[in-house]
Structure 1
């Protein structure tokens, strides 16, 4: 496989256009943006820089396709056939898609293969198989009345997705939206657009009608704002930062009150009790749970809470594992952690470390930029000991930075764990079944792992509480965002 990766690494990448109404087109302004690979800091291609007129054109194409009904009114079995074909095409192009994505955003190839094309194909296949198994309802009304509840597609869905796992997260949103019969306008992140443009091409080859899936690349402040303010977008689904999520809610209020669903990241607690069944496993999994993909994972276990009686030994074990972690060329199958997505993100990560040290945190390992001679953006896995009130223990870094905090009791662990504005993921390591259930009940998070971290699949929902967002990606519950309920009240007398 490494030989195939090396061959694809050398391929030139054509300058990318917008995909609107089944065709490639340049931005109205002619604007373009450089795509800089975090592997070596070099420009590998350019993408179109859409403005509001381009977004309006894409939304109009989506609305026209929805009204035309070739997709929205197609039988579920017909939509199923196309989406299954798309899943097959993604799988057949998996290596090409994975390498393209790694050149764009720096994820290590071993993770990218599973988390990007493989996950994307699985997601499309899941929702394709599910859509013809959703039924309406008959309400238990009074005699002489027939109450029917119909499920209908909402219309035009806008999806704005981040740069860390663009194919996986986009599929979580557009697969159920398309399966339900909607049309979609997808805006990738500026730093990770290439695989999603390829996905649009594959969708067209699979038989998706023109205008049903449109992809507009561009800046969030322009193209993203245009989607948020559009009067003809019915639902907007977003994964990204809290400040942007707030702006999208404001745009909804200023426009047509479109429904906005947000997944906004977190500062997820990973809690290790002294009675954990396998502390060596806990250390290894905890390390992967924060340092894989250079910590650029929404559910990353970035706060490690360790019971005080084992704190010193566990910390030492974890630091040793982090020190031995292979960080480097993300297109090398031996690499365990690839590049930080951009130079700007790397600077933010290092700034967080500097601020933590100034506040009194103790650096146990890492904390520096490495491999600068490559021109790329790489950072050592970093372990900091801190107290719960420090900024580094409360603010999302979105980089390879782990904060370790000791605790003495179950109650204190819960207090620290719940003591942030976030509530996306969490974990607890314990051999006590009763404690595990108490912690599941007590943790304010959308996901609670027990004796593992990061394990999940498409069958279970992902969503946050508090300022980690609302609504759910994944599982059958994702359909709830993209289907409207319509009641029919029929007098039979």
Structure 2
């Protein structure tokens, strides 16, 4: 692997945005936090402070929720036609496309991810999400119901927006996770208070400007930057929020559930993962090596779906370990703004220390470091892509979510699919899994046996706006994307009329 930790120049649009004073968006106005407090935003590749944003807290959340309630109950948003709502959501995709390069640069600078990935996946994926979800505004239909009660009855249902929604998004895909939550909520007719992660607030604030440019009424989308324990907790606790949507760690997800109990607000959670990638002996091994390496090293391993548990049949185990290690060796590490970089820094010092702690734990518990395992350079939050062999389920690195570019490889020698599925399911998580085989029967039988919300066959980290995404077990509640997500943002009202 090669290392090039150099900060390339930033485009003029992104530079101009960084230079502006950053504020909260509440009721269509850009305002300071009521406390007047701010906090720094860091470039994780250089550890430089690149901006300051408001440290919003409960008082700011209260103001934002009140604005969202007014917009939902009595503002023009409450009377807008479905077709007009659809056009506004579609317009967000168009505006994002017009500013795609700027958003990719801001995401790479703020999060650390490679700018080429940000442009191809994060920005384009967000554009696609708004365009897909725009169509749902005119497709949220009820139905007439034939009933058996005596009398002349007209019984039917309506689908109505759930109301004011609090949305708390993570730092690993800041723009895309905002799009995953904003697009369906807006299409359904909800109003929103969005709280980006404190580590990566920049693209959310820039996107707030696009929301205003698109023509959304004041108060429909409000954006509060701040810390999770203050602004995030206030939003989850708020008695006038009808639903909270959260993406992040399982630990914080459990706190969200407790906070939501006060008014029994609806909750959807997309949480952690420890996803298995299973390579059968008949797989296209070259394709499996490339695919499973990407499954763990993509986005610095900071994916809830990361293929962090790699199971290879004993007959191909050595070849898979050697191949994935060779793929790791080809990776160029450096500043995310460098278009030639494949792997950027981890998002923060806290995350850097966490991953380093797992690497030390793996060594102590007897894992073999085949490649990587070190911290390159003396600046930035970088970790080498790492392959740990001879691992077992008793090790912390195998049981717990690392959220870094670290894969734990294990072999299996049983051709019984039930036994293989038992390995895959031996985790408290159940978000994604991948199966690598040429045998269609094996592929689809394994897909049925693995307890995970998304299964990939001969690929990993797949996503599409029409593909419902979410997990089993402690990987969360509910689904993002697809038609299923609209269940989170609508209520079903049943009406019975006696004639």
The residue that corresponds to 2:281 in the other structure is 274
CA deviation string 1:87-113 (max 9, x = no partner) = 111110010111011111101111111
The count of residues paired between Structure 1 and Structure 2 equals: 487
Note closer, same or farther for the CA distance 1:270–1:488 as it changes in structure 2 (3 Å cut).
same
Query: Given the alignment of the two structures, is residue 233 of structure 1 paired with residue 241 of structure 2, yes or no?
Result: yes
1:141 matched residue in structure 2: 147
- Residues 335-361 of structure 1 show CA distances to partners (whole Å, capped at 9, x for unaligned) of 111111011111100100101111111
What is aligned with 1:384? Answer: 388
Give the counterpart of 1:437 among 427, 444, 455: 444
Are the aligned partners of 1:388 and 1:405 in contact in 2 as well (CA < 8 Å)?
A: no
Aligned to 2:90: 84
1:188 aligns with 2:193: no
Deviations 1:258-310 (A, max 9, x none): 1111111200000000111x111110111111101110111111110000111
CA contact (8 A) 1:327 1:338 kept: yes
**How far off is 1:325 after superposition?**
1.0
Aligned counterpart in structure 1 of residue 138 of structure 2, from 119, 132, 135 = 132
Give 1:245's aligned residue. Answer: 253
Q: 2:166 aligns with which of 143, 153, 158?
A: 158
- Distance, in Å, in 2 between the alignment partners of 1:8 and 1:485 is 44
Residues 346-357 of structure 1: matches in 2 within 5 Å?
Answer: 346-357=352-363
Long gaps (5+) in structure 2 = 1-6
Q: Deviations over 1:405-442 (max 9, x none)?
A: 11112333211110000000000011111111110110
- Show CA shifts across 1:147-190 (max 9, x none): 11000001100000000111111111111001110000000000
What is the deviation of 1:9? 6.8
The whole-number CA distance in structure 1 between the counterparts of 2:364 and 2:255 is: 32
The reply to whether residue 360 of structure 1 matches residue 375 of structure 2 is no
Who is 2:175 aligned against? Answer: 167
CA distance in 2, matches of 1:317, 1:15: 48
| 2: CA distance, partners of 1:9 / 1:211 | 26
**Which of 384, 389, 397 pairs up with 2:402?**
397
Q: Work out which of the residue numbers 460, 463, 468 in structure 2 matches 1:456.
A: 463
**Cα pair distance change 1:15/1:369, threshold 3 Å:** farther
Report the alpha carbon displacement of residue 13 of structure 1 after superposing the two structures with TM: 3.1
Shift of 1:14: 2.3
1:308 aligns with 2:328: no
Q: Could you say what the CA RMSD is over the residues aligned between the two structures, in angstroms?
A: 1.5
For normalisation by structure 2, the TM-score amounts to 0.95
Whole-Å separation in 2 of the counterparts to 1:288 and 1:443: 21
Query: Does the CA-based 8 Å contact 1:65-1:71 persist in structure 2?
Result: yes
1:94-109 alignment to 2 at 5 Å? 94-109=100-115
Structure 1 counterpart of 2:99: 93
Asked if structure 2 preserves the Cα contact closer than 8 Å seen for 1:328 and 1:371, the reply is no
Which residue of 2 is the match for residue 422 of structure 1? Answer: 429
Cα distance in 1 between the residues matched to 2:41 and 2:133: 32
Q: Distance in 2 between matches of 1:322 and 1:312?
A: 15
- Cα deviation for residue 327 of structure 1 reads 1.3
Which residue number corresponds to residue 4 of structure 2?
Answer: none
Per the alignment, residue 200 of structure 1 pairs with: 208
The Cα shift of 1:238 comes to 0.2
Corresponding residue of 1:465 = 472
Q: Deviations over 1:69-98 (max 9, x none)?
A: 411331110101111111111110010111
1:402 shift after superposition: 0.5
SS at match of 1:393: helix
Aligned counterparts of 2:37 and 2:335: Cα–Cα separation in 1? 31
SS in 2 for 1:39: coil
Shift of 1:389: 2.3
Q: Is structure 2 residue 50 aligned with structure 1 residue 32?
A: no
1:318: Cα distance to partner? 1.0
State the SS of the aligned residue for 1:71.
Answer: helix
Instruction: Say whether the 8 Å CA contact 1:302–1:403 is kept in structure 2.
Output: yes
- SS of 2:77's partner is coil
Are the aligned partners of 1:115 and 1:165 in contact in 2 as well (CA < 8 Å)? no
C-alpha contact (below 8 Å) 2:8/2:337 kept by paired residues: no
Separation (CA, whole Å) in 1 of partners of 2:9 and 2:87? 31
Q: Determine the C-alpha separation between the residues in 2 that align with 1:219 and 1:157.
A: 18
Q: Does 1:334 align with 2:318?
A: no
Counterpart in 1 of 2:3? none
Find the residue that maps to 2:219 and give its secondary structure.
coil
Stretch deviating more after TM superposition (13-22 or 237-246) = 13-22
